[in-house]
Amino acid sequence: MVEYKINIPYLVFCWQDDAPDNAYYLDRKTGAIKLVNQNLYDLRQLTDEIEKDRERYLYLPKAERKTMIADLHDFAATVGNEHLKNVLAVAFESPHVLSAFKKILEKDESESSRLTGFLEERALSRIEAWLTANSMPKEWEGEAEDEDLEDTGYEYEDFGVHD
């Protein structure tokens, strides 16, 4: 069995990347994450590599909009400030709900930070389920810094990749 480690902060970033032109593939052999975008210089070489060895590369699915909306509703329900909670309710009318949430919360650093952590925690939970469903070993880069991450059996280090 080949041993490798996956850069989980980068995997979370890729998982949360809603850019329609970006597609990501996890290399089952090395743990590397490959970006496929039509504007990449080596696109043909990269897509040929993925096509030649389909079992080696696992497509990283995009998070569904309805899942993100549900997560934001769950987060909004935890906000204690009633005024802020009412303003966040208006954000659901925006076509860019996440951006609206972030804009509203940028004045409240603690709530903004809490939102980032909340969304990362949800993404990590889904990523763990996805990795397990695809028979991927629990080998992540780094060391556990968060009790919740320690409970998953995955290793984690913050490489500074944030939204």
CA angle 47, 131, 126 (to 5 degrees): 105
Has residue 98 been placed in a domain?
yes
Cβ 111 vs Cβ 105: under 8 Å: yes
Has residue 162 been placed in a domain?
no
Q: Provide the edge-to-edge strand list for the sheet that holds 23-27.
A: 33-36, 23-27, 57-60
Has residue 109 been placed in a domain?
yes
Q: For residues 88 and 131, state if they share a domain.
A: no
Token digits for 154? 């995955």
Q: For residues 38 and 23, state if they share a domain.
A: yes
Rounded Cα–Cα distance for residues 35 and 22 (Å): 7
Instruction: Provide the residue-wise pLDDT of the chain in tens; the chain has 163 residues.
Output: 455 688 889 999 999 998 888 999 999 888 899 888 878 767 777 788 888 888 888 999 988 889 999 999 999 999 999 999 999 999 999 999 999 999 999 999 999 999 999 999 999 999 999 999 988 876 554 433 443 444 434 343 333 333 3
Has residue 24 been placed in a domain?
yes
Tell me, what's the pLDDT at 20?
A: 85
Rounded Cα–Cα distance for residues 3 and 138 (Å): 10
Tell me, what's the pLDDT at 52?
A: 86
Q: For residues 137 and 113, state if they share a domain.
A: no
What 3-state DSSP class applies to 25?
strand
Has residue 21 been placed in a domain?
yes
Tell me, what's the pLDDT at 147?
A: 36
Domain containing 33 equals 8-62+127-152
Has residue 73 been placed in a domain?
yes
Tell me, what's the pLDDT at 154?
A: 38
Has residue 157 been placed in a domain?
no
